[in-house]
Structure 1
Amino acid sequence: MTDADSTATTNSGAADSRGGVRLEGITKRYGDQTAVDNLSLTIEPGEFISFLGPSGCGKTTTLRMIAGFETPNAGDILISGASVLNAPPYRRDVNTVFQAYALFPHLSVAENVAYGLHQRRTSKSDVRERVTAALDMVQMRTFGDRRPTQLSGGQQQRIALARALVNRPAVLLLDEPLGALDRQLREEMQMELKLLQARLGITFVFVTHDQGEALSMSDRIAIMRAGRIEQLADSDTVYAHPASAYVAAFVGQQNFFRGSVTESGAAVTSAHALVRGATASLADASQGEAAVRPEFIKIEKDGIAGSTDDANTARGKLLGVSHLGDTMQFLVSLGDDQSLVVRRPTPDAPSLRIGDSVLCTWEARHVLLFPADDSAAEGGYVAPPTA
């Protein structure tokens, strides 16, 4: 049973209040290709949950099924305790914010926000009150008379949010809504979205391929792979205790060593290093992978007198140095196609030159051991076929 299955089973009644969502064994196929494969998940009312994964993993298809834009071939979808399987999108208590804001250029900001209310034949007095409140939520009240073309990308995103929130949905679905923004604005909007969600208490279901977005905003993250949930957990757990080499490779950066499992399942012997973990967790004599994050590795010029208590060492040649602001990144060649990425806080980083022979060390407690997985080799991942 997966983490998602377990959550759906133990919390089967938790999503019955307004804003709760239950996915019960939903499957979506396009011809011979399965985009979402028997996925079960409970989303709690008021939760901020993110679907994270590469293109083609099924995250957007899952969101579109919740929204009603796609119909599952099997399974059921419940929102606030009621099945919406046969309900069209406009009959579901959800609203969707897309990457493309889809604002009407011929309407003012206020008219864009009010559009959905007019479609529902809301009274004029209610429309004025609710539009004002929605624009206040996103700090755009003074822009009500402007046209979308007079706004920046971040301002347009705020208007798209206000238009979705003005209908007071139980669930807000966000399909990579920050993808078109530059990095600084995207980071600002991440904080604003999280603060807005906490203030409103609305269930947010967020789809992204950006791990930073998911880690910074989510109560829980569903890492998807080939239409299934590989791991479902909070940000700390996903980052520090990934359930598989696939998750470890996708969330953050890892240095992977592949080879034979030795030392009674507590180490992996690769062509370039013997990498020891803190516990025996693999079958001896099988193929395994050891992973260590760049921030857990220390680096110094080789040959410096001294001793280390670290269980793991690797020697190589320095290929590159990058200044990342608060950290320095070092790229080390261990030979052939095996390289090592090391990151040290800038004030503590050693002074090294490209071409130097270097010694890298790290502690066994920072090593993750996994069975060999072709989708997580050499610190990367292989995306499943695009669905």
Structure 2
Amino acid sequence: MTEHIIYSVEGESDELKAAVIGAQATFKFFWRELSWESRRIIKSLDMAAVKMSFAVDDNDPQGPSFENMWVSDIEFDGQSISGVLMNEPRWVTSLKASDAVSLPLAALNDWMYVRDGRVYGGFTVDALREGMSADARDEHDRAWGLDFGEPGTIEVVPAAEGQAPWLLSRNLDSAADRQTLATLEHAEHPMALNMREKVEEGLQEHPHVIRDYDPDGWLLLHREVLAGNYSVVHALLRHGADPLALNAYGQTSVSLASEAGWPRITRLLEGHETDDQVPDKTGGFALWPIGFALVALALGWLYYLVVYPLRSAWAGHSVEVARPWDFVGAIMLLGYGLVSCTGPWYFRWRMRTPQCGGARLLDLLTMLGGFLLAVLLHDQVQRYVIGR
């Protein structure tokens, strides 16, 4: 999604070609909005459509190679955009209005959605409007019946009530544009914030949705990563979703987030970021004091299991070594204590390992390592005591 392959129509200006690049770079915001629109009982958008470049199947050397047409009822799988053709084609003779179509993402020419009469996106439309006279522009806007804003500026997401609009230049080529885009990439969709508790409740009541693939071979985690829904992704991970599971295209959620252009989600999936704003229903207290207490208890237990019999053997006294399971219990208790003390580091590495059933690979390796260490320690202590 980060590579821009531009299908140009003969005669397109440099301004229109630059507008296409801007539309492709910001398409993820369009798809995030549509991901939430599909959840709304009462729809919020007046219209949502993309403009795609269709190859012309006519051999007329005087005709264009591509025809740009609008498509509605959008579906997106990270590779292709599907929908229903809105225009009656002029050059593409194999299609007609209302036909179902599907094209690769690289064929995207523009996107636009409308809320309360206000246009978001519309990069190529803005380029055309800026080249019009004031009278022609007014006539154009009246014909559409929409508020396109000032020519030369684009909004890609609605601003919060009472907040100034997030304005971008059409070419996205200024430092202010880059800063605004970075801010928007890290910001949550308002519905994601409002539905946090419902998402948590839904995952608790229906845990199968975390691990079950849909008919297209995608996990819910893949869908939410593609849409850039950070808090939903975070909730899925907390409930055991596997960031290294593959979708139908062989992509992990980590690679999908990187390709889609959601850096904050990429860091979350890689274990480099946590979300302190996710509701905590436990009432909340620090875990590290409990961890230190467990470590102290485990060390005392190990002293009794290891040092006490060794000292007794050195003194020439008869001593009986504890059972292997006592050693296993002490080592496991020490492990739980260390994880509780250094949880953030452990869990960052944990999320980067594959999921095996209901556990992470790192959990299984840690438990196996602890078990083997306990058995080895028991055998060494017993061998020394017997040898004395």
Given the two structures, how large is their TM-score scaled by the length of structure 2?
0.26
Q: Which has more radius of gyration?
A: 2
- Larger relative helix fraction: 2
Given the two structures, how large is their TM-score scaled by the length of structure 1?
0.26
| Bigger RCO (CA 8 Å, 6+ sep) | 1
- Larger relative strand fraction: 1
